[in-house]
Amino acid sequence: MITDIRIHMAIVMYLIGCFSLMIYNAMVIYRKKSSSKAMSNNTNKWIKVMNQQFTKENKIRKSDPKYEKHMIKSLKHVEKLIAFSNALNYFKLEYGTDLYNQYIVTLVQSKVFHTLAVIYRRKKNEERAYFAYFISQHPQLAKDTEGICADIISAMVSYIEDSDIYCRSNVLKVLCSVGDVYGVVNTLQLFNDKNIFIHHKLLAEDLFNFTGDKEVLSLYLWGKYKIWNDNLILGVIIFITMFSDAFKDTFLPVLRNKSIDAEVRLAIIRYYKKYRYAPAQSVLIEYLNQTENYDFATEAAATLSQYPGQNTINALTTALQSDNWYVQYGAASSLAILDEHLDYHIDCIASKSNGAFQIVQYMLEHQNNKKDMNMSELII
Amino acid sequence: MTNILAQFVLFSSIFFIAYLLIYATFAFMSVAVGAYTLRNKERMQILKNELKHTTIPISIIIPAFNEATVIIKSVKSLLALDYQHYEIVVVDDESNDDTSQLLIDEFDMKFYNRPINCLLECKPHIAVYEQKIGNVNLTLIRKLNGGKADALNMGINSCRYPYFICMDADSFLQKNSLEKIVQPILEDDTTVSVGGMVLISQCVQIENGMAVNYRLPSSLLVSMQAIEYDRTFLGSRILFDTFNGNLIISGAFGLFKKSIVIAAGGYDSNSLGEDMELVLKTHVYCRNNNIKYRIRYASNSVCLTQAPSQIKDLIGQRRRWHIGMFQSMREHWQIFLNLRFGLVSFLSFMYYLLYELLSPIIEIFGVASIIIAAHLNILNVRFMIIFLALYVIYGVVLSLCIYSQHIYQQKFKLSTIDLVKALLICFLEFTFFRYLMLYSRFQAFVRYGKNKKVWGSIKRE
């Protein structure tokens, strides 16, 4: 009997838990519905407030301290900030960039966002991330008459400590959209010092959206190559590879240095594929011939397709005999590009029993198909 | 004798109450954690806490066997994905129908004597066709028949990029699925595989590559599977994800790091549950070699797949899955009660062992206990009925919770009719469907060994 009562109690407890979950769900759904209504109401209110900022001459009024106070009080709530952002986007679409820019100037003069940047420092991680995202969408807010506004930027950089990847990425977006070299360098320095992870591909893509002088930024970033961790440097090299041929000379000693991280050197080999640099040829051939790490040989084989000449053809022909299939593949693909007479002497360079023979044949088939395609395009 | 039987009934009653209470706790935890995680994710999305990156190169591998009815539609939908850098590799495992020919004709594919470096063991290829469509390289490999796992190994051998996705030929990805499934890799580069969420396509209305509406279809069988999928993909998978404990990444949609899969030995051609086997193998490989790793689940990366609409197909499918689970768990038995595997061993593996693999045996044992208790006149019928009724209500309420979570997480509309229908389906799923599953699982034990290396097929709609 006692056991029965205990079991009944346990079941009742479980059911209470279960129904409370149901109620929680219903509440979340209800809150979501009401919050989406509130969001659209708030957006409309902001649009109304923005409209009130117009003078009769269709210009923006100078900022009013009361209005500024109201903005700060309101926008420190992230939901209100989202509504404000929606209203701002609507404003830009409806009234055009000129009026939008005028409005932004009044906001900058009011220093509302300077204050908010500091307030959001104390907010939750995801709310800080949103504030950073908001500024990255309206980067003029982080600028003043003298250029980049140091207060906002330093507040943003301070968000990075004890933050997650989303906040970090959004902060980096702000710095890149503003075009602040020092901000970007300081942020990456912080990533390095605090051992904060950011995927190198993501870093490169964010850096590529830098709106200032990318050449200057890349010089500053590369200046840290002996200090920063390999992941950051990898991201920097990928970023540089996206746009600059100015590092041909700089990268070569790094490529020669066998103590540098393998991924970093592989990224540099890829750089030399995009930007041909004659002095790199001998180093690439050296990498092609080494057998300790076939990743280097494979990458070098593919890169050598951009370095025509008998030396390259000889090295690639030798590489066809490599023990590694991927090296053979890379060599064959490069030979197919470089050696115009490859189809005539394929038998001499690769024995039919060797896998390289099939690879070369496959590459030639591709070349021929491309030629046919080009021909048919010409005829059309 | 009567005394021994009475003792047995007493023991079994305690065992079953504990068994069900543990399951009830697990179900509650998975729904609660699922609800909390999904709510958080939605808030993150609203607050633009997202990583948008579309240049991590991905190979999509589609193993195909007699998929002529769906293959063109499937490849066309993949060609329309919102992602910059990917290739598609279709591996035709010697189909008897026009799967290959349809692809060759539709996409004007060219024959190549392409050599393939077989790092993973698989049956040899017969022919390779290639075509570049826009930015996407499409490859068709025809190979000798060897089963789904064998076809996947061929796909891995021939794909070019460091990450690959395996998916079924009858599955469709939402436009943003690749962008979402790479997010865990960007968050943490120790991530070696990511599972995506699988929805039943018969429930979904698609517009511009995105699911815009979700309704339970008229087929009761499909509807019950939809509720079951929701419970799995929005409940238990999320719960297991919190401690890196997922043991299954659905074969319909999963992303893997190629180098790890190759190092671990690839798919097991002899397994019917190649998806679970690979995940277990990954756990074992990484733990044994002290490799830091994460196996993640991305509930916002959506794949749509067709569910069987006929009982025969469903039973066949679940029988294969259950045999696959048995093979995989037997193969990687070292995980069982092994401290080195931590929660993967003591929670995930135990759950799958007790509540999935052995469930048919345990449930039959339960029925036998009831019969014996009734025979001995010691069955508390009132308690049994109340317990069963409450348990059903409990299960139905939890299923409804998950269903409603799903609807609102994906921003679909839920009408009153849908809600009533969902209530009915949840009830049927808990009372009828689970016994159908029990039957198919029991059959898996009985017919173990008969279905090796067979491609599963269902009637396409």
pLDDT in tens, A23-45: 777 777 777 777 778 888 989 99
CB-CB neighbors (< 8 A) of B21 in chain A: 10, 14
Structure tokens at B297: 């689940």
Residues A274 and A241: beta-carbon distance below 8 Å: yes
Give the closest of A17, A167, A361 to B28, CB-based.
A17
Instruction: Reply yes or no on whether the pLDDT at A106 is more than 90.
Output: no
Query: What's the alpha-carbon Rg for chain A, to the nearest Å?
Result: 30
| pLDDT value for B143 | 96
Cβ contact, residue pair B35, A21, below 8 Å: yes
Token output for B271: 């397994």
Residue A124: the pLDDT is: 92
Helix, strand, coil % over all residues of chain B, rounded to 5: 55, 15, 30
Q: What mean pLDDT do residues B371-385 have?
A: 86
Give the minimum alpha-carbon distance from B408 to chain A in angstroms, rounded to a whole number.
7
User: What tokens appear for A101 in the block?
Assistant: 């820019």
pLDDT-based confidence at A259, cuts 50/70/90?
very high
Instruction: Determine whether the interchain pair A21/B32 forms a contact, defined as Cβ–Cβ distance below 8 Å.
Output: yes
Residues B355 and B350: their CA atoms lie apart, in Å, by 8
Q: Where are the beta strands (DSSP E) in A143-300?
A: 143-144, 147-148
Q: Is the pLDDT of residue B446 over 50?
A: yes
Regarding predicted confidence, which is higher, A21 or B129? B129
Yes or no, beta carbons of A24 and B35 under 8 Å apart: yes
Percent share of chain B, pLDDT over 70: 97
Higher pLDDT, A49 or B340: B340
How many domains are contained in chain B? 1
Indicate whether A380 pLDDT > 50. Answer: no
Rounded to whole angstroms, the Cα distance separating B425 from A319 reads 64
Q: How confident is the model at residue B445 (pLDDT cuts 50, 70, 90)?
A: confident
Q: Taking 80 as the threshold, does the pLDDT of residue A321 lie above it?
A: yes
What residue type is B51 in one-letter code? L
Query: Is B115 close to A355, i.e. CB distance below 8 A?
Result: yes
- Identify the pLDDT of residue B454: 61
3-state DSSP call for residue B195?
strand
Sorted by sequence, the CB contacts under 8 Å of residue B143 that are 6+ apart come out as: B91, B92, B93, B94, B122, B123, B124, B125, B126, B150, B151, B154
Mean pLDDT to the nearest integer, B389-401 = 84
Residue type at A164? D
Identify the bridge partners of residue B60 per DSSP, sorted by sequence position: B88, B165
Reply yes or no on whether the pLDDT at A350 is more than 70: no
CATH class name, domain A246-380: mainly alpha
Quick check: B112 and A365 CB within 8 A?
yes
Residue with tokens 């790890």: B260
Please report the pLDDT score of residue B452 as a whole number: 57
* Residue B139 falls inside a structural domain: no
Q: What is the mean pLDDT of chain A?
A: 86
Q: Is B56 on the interface with A (CB under 8 A)?
A: yes
Are the Cβ atoms of B49 and A167 closer than 8 angstroms? yes
Res. B450 pLDDT band, cuts 50 70 90? low
C-alpha A120/C-alpha A363 separation (Å) is 57
Lowest-confidence pick of A8-22, A339-353, B157-171: A339-353
Q: Is residue B182 part of a domain?
A: yes
Residues 6+ apart with CB under 8 A from B347: B240, B243, B245
**Position A3 confidence tier, pLDDT thresholds 50, 70, 90:** low
B188 touching chain A per CB within 8 A: yes
Q: Of B455, B84, B26, B31, which Cα lies nearest the Cα of B251?
A: B455
What pLDDT digit, counting tens, does each position of B111-169 carry?
Answer: 999 999 999 999 999 999 999 999 999 999 999 999 999 999 999 999 999 999 999 99
Residue B40 has pLDDT above 60, yes or no: yes
Q: How far apart are CA B308 and CA B459, in angstroms?
A: 7
The owner of tokens 């469509």 is B133
Closest to B25 measured CA to CA, from B362, B283, B394 = B394
Domain assignment present for residue B59? The answer is no
In a domain, B76, yes or no: no
In a domain, B79, yes or no: no
A110, pLDDT greater than 90: no
CB contact under 8 A, B28 and A129: no
**Residue B58 pLDDT greater than 60, yes or no:** yes
| Residue (of B183, B196, B206, B157) closest to B83 by Cα position | B183
The answer to which of A67-71, B199-203, B319-323, B408-412 has the lowest mean pLDDT is B408-412
Band (pLDDT 50/70/90 cuts) for residue A348 is low
Measured CA to CA, the distance from residue B120 to residue B117 in angstroms comes to 9
For residues B316 and B196, the answer to whether their CB atoms sit within 8 Å is no
Position A367 scores a pLDDT of: 79
Q: Sign (positive/negative) of CA torsion A220, A225, A231, A235?
A: positive
Chain B residue numbers with beta carbons less than 8 Å from the beta carbon of A30 are none
Please indicate, yes or no, if residue B97 is contained in any of the structural domains.
Answer: no
* A221, pLDDT greater than 60: yes
Q: Where are the domains of chain A?
A: 246-380
Closest Cα in chain B to A329:
B115
Distance, CA of B74 to CA of B246 (rounded, Å): 28
Is position B293 within any domain? Answer: yes
For residues B88 and B62, the answer to whether their CB atoms sit within 8 Å is yes
Choose among B55, B115, B187: nearest Cβ to A201.
B55
A359-379 average pLDDT score: 73
pLDDT score recorded for residue A5 = 63
Helix (H) or strand (E) holding B122: none
pLDDT per residue over B267-306, tens digit each?
A: 998 888 899 999 999 999 999 999 999 999 999 999 999 8
What value does the mean pLDDT of chain B take?
90
Q: How close does chain B come to A57, measured CA to CA in Å?
A: 37
Q: Which of B238, B248, B103, B283 is nearest to B166 (CA)?
A: B248
Q: Is the dihedral of CA A346, A352, A356, A361 positive or negative?
A: positive
Q: What would the DSSP string read from start to end of A302-321?
A: HHGGG--SHHHHHHHHHHTT
pLDDT band at A68 (very low <50, low <70, confident <90, very high): confident
Torsion angles phi and psi, residue B190, rounded to 5: -90, 0
Q: Does pLDDT of B12 surpass 90?
A: no
What is the domain range of residue B368? 1-50+171-461
pLDDT at residue A327, as a whole number: 93
Confidence of residue A305 (pLDDT cuts 50, 70, 90): very high
- How many beta-carbon pairs under 8 angstroms link A with B? 108
Mean pLDDT over A52-60 rounds to 64
Q: Is B110 helix (H, G, I), strand (E, B) or coil?
A: strand
**Over residues B222-241, mean pLDDT:** 91
pTM of the shown model? 0.90
Task: Residue B46: list chain A partners with CB under 8 A.
Answer: 82
Q: Which residues contact B334 (CB under 8 A, 6 or more apart)?
A: B284
Whether B409 is in a domain gets the answer yes
DSSP SS3 for B212: strand
A371 has a pLDDT exceeding 80:
no
Is the pLDDT reported for residue B448 higher than 90?
no
The more confidently predicted of residues A153 and A356 is A153
Q: Any chain A CB within 8 A of the CB of B115?
A: yes
Q: Which of residues 390-429 of B touch A (CB under 8 A)?
A: 390-391, 393-394, 397-398, 400-401, 404-405, 408
